[in-house]
Amino acid sequence: MQASDPEARSPWSSLDGVAEAELHPPDASAGGPAVRLAAAGSKSVTNRVLLLAAMAEGTSVVRNVLRSDDTYWCIDALKRLGVPIDVSADAVRIVGTGGDWPNRSGTLYAGAAGTVARFLPGVLAASERGEWRLEGSRSLSDRPVGPLVEALGRIGADIRCEAEPGRLPLAVSAKGLRGGRVVLSGGLSSQFISGVLMASPYAAGPTEIVVPDGIVQHAYVGITVDLMKRFGVTVEHDERYGRLAVKPGRYAAQDTAVEADASTACYYLAFAALTGRSVRVDNLPPETRQPDAGFVRLLERMGCAVDETGGGVEVRGPAGGRLRGGFAVSMKEMSDQTMTLAALAPFADGPIAIGDVAHIRGHECDRIAATCESLRRLGIDAEERRDGLTIRPGTPKPSGALPTYDDHRMAMSLALIGARVPGVRLLDPGCVSKTNPPFFDELRRLGMGVRLTPNG
């Protein structure tokens, strides 16, 4: 089981020194107007924009930047590279250095952020000179980077896995990229493709990426392509990103705002589903490309009413939180919500079989195994398969504090069970800070009881 890694908690984390959270359902009766919330900025958009702005020519101003561990470590890495960055209450101002980093050597730290580990190596290798070491947290050092390192090598990068093949830490010896054709599997992580893409305009010649096998969560590649375009670089591609082509170019500084994080919004909308209440996330643009926005379709299928008018998303759960089950679903395209669905599933009226998510065994923890283990600890029947799990209806019975596997989404999903069952206890609740430090405050705003126990 993944032990937590205190070093990866940043100054933007919350719940420092909190050992345990105990959760209780809201006591006021359901009904009444929707509770309205705003989700913080998207992790995926924040870290892409920060890196593109740092590589750009000119000064970018970025508003609604997410303040969480993952984005803190991205900013920290850029500062260690000597990029002038000013973080103020309402914006982050970045003076782009055109892909040449003022500090030509040093150690960079990615925390537990997959986005930093998979996007930074290409960005570093694309510069003309420099020697850096890229390290990550304990959990990040267990996650794969091999296909990315190999693909970047094909277009001229000199990157070495220092300890174990295919794992952090990496040693990057920058001497520019030449471009060329690379064949890269999309079966393990979409982030490898995004990582090659973001660096490729800075190669000497055109770069072509061929993905022969389909991409898990292909929408994240779409987010990368869109943001590169916003920063002035066009990517040619087919509809499912089986082939992508980038010509040499330069990013141009932008004044831009980060959209709300759809993955974060899902926890609050799932709370509505479980409690028969109504929750409105005011700032989630219905036209977003973030795949987790599609989770509301699943909530609809389970009996929720969904309203996407007025620039936000509102979900009302069915009376008494009686959700519909009895279906099988592929979560390949929005696999970060696998655990959220698993938290709803015991309260459905039939089994729910989740498939096509073998790749989430390589996320912050082995999320298939961890979810089955956690549900079973609560007395719920969860059957584990290689690429998914099946959950049967039941009443969760908390009988001890649950591990959270140093995984923000395990913690946030398990906490939701506390919206229906009193006394769900979570160890190391602070792991939510990877993407969502105010999570437990928001649960309180939704009416849940949250009791925090300090260490010792």
Ligand X SMILES: C=C(OP(=O)(O)O)C(=O)O
Q: Rule CB under 6 A: which of 326-355 touch ligand X?
A: 336
Classify residue 17 as left (phi > 0), alpha (psi -120 to 50) or beta. left
Distance CA 193, CA 94 (A): 25
Q: Is 218 in the site for ligand S3P (CB under 6 A)?
A: no
- Binding residue per annotation — 409? yes
Do 243 and 264 contact (CB within 8 A), yes or no?
A: no
Q: Which of 99, 98, 48, 94 is nearest to 74 (CA)?
A: 48
Kindly give, in sequence order, each residue whose CB lies less than 8 Å from that of residue 225, ignoring residues fewer than 6 positions away.
Answer: 197, 235, 237, 241, 244
Query: What angle separates helix 114-125 from helix 69-80, to the nearest 10 degrees?
Result: 20
- Single out the residue of 343, 435, 443, 446 in contact with ligand X (rule: CB under 6 A): 435
Q: Is 374 in the site for ligand S3P (CB under 6 A)?
A: no
**Cβ-proximal residue to ligand X, closest one:** 114
Stretch that binds ligand S3P, among 76-84, 169-177, 214-222, 384-392 (CB under 6 A): 214-222
What is the per-residue binding string for ligand S3P in 30-69, x denoting contact by CB under 6 A?
--------------x-------------------------
Complex with ligand S3P: residue 48 or 280, whichever CB lies closer: 48
What is the per-residue binding string for ligand X in 379-418, x denoting contact by CB under 6 A?
------------------------------x---------
Question: Would you name the residues annotated as active-site residues?
Answer: 336
What is the nearest approach in angstroms of ligand X to the Cβ of residue 191? 6
Tokens of 317: 């759960």
Radius of gyration of the chain (CA): 21
Complex with ligand X: residue 233 or 410, whichever CB lies closer: 410
Distance CA 240, CA 220 (A): 11
Q: Which does 409 bind (CB under 5 to 8 A by kind): ligand S3P, ligand X, none?
A: ligand X
Q: Rule CB under 6 A: which of 89-128 touch ligand X?
A: 113-115
Residue by residue, DSSP assigns 24-64 as: E---SPS-SSPEEE-PPBPHHHHHHHHHHHHHSEEEEEEES
- Single out the residue of 336, 407, 428, 442 in contact with ligand S3P (rule: CB under 6 A): 336
Stretch that binds ligand S3P, among 5-13, 97-105, 184-192, 230-238 (CB under 6 A): 184-192
User: Which residue type, as a one-letter code, is found at position 268?
Assistant: Y
- Binding residue per annotation — 425? no
Distance CA 160, CA 201 (A): 22
Q: Which does 359 bind (CB under 5 to 8 A by kind): ligand X, ligand S3P, none?
A: ligand S3P
What does each C-alpha distance from 325 to 279, 341, 344, 434 come to in angstroms? 21, 11, 10, 31
Residue count, binding to ligand S3P (CB under 6 A): 12
What is the nearest approach in angstroms of ligand X to the Cβ of residue 57? 27
Residue by residue, DSSP assigns 111-149 as: TT-HHHHHHHHHHHHTSSSEEEEEE--TTGGGS--HHHH
Q: To which H or E segment does residue 18 belong?
A: strand 18-24
Q: To which H or E segment does residue 172 belong?
A: strand 170-174
What is the nearest approach in angstroms of ligand X to the Cβ of residue 332? 14
- Binding residue per annotation — 332? no
Residue ranges for the binding site for phosphoenolpyruvate? 43, 114, 143, 191, 367, 409, 434
Query: Interface residues with ligand S3P (CB under 6 A)?
Result: 44, 114-115, 189-191, 194, 216-217, 220, 336, 359
Query: Interface residues with ligand X (CB under 6 A)?
Result: 113-115, 336, 363, 409, 435
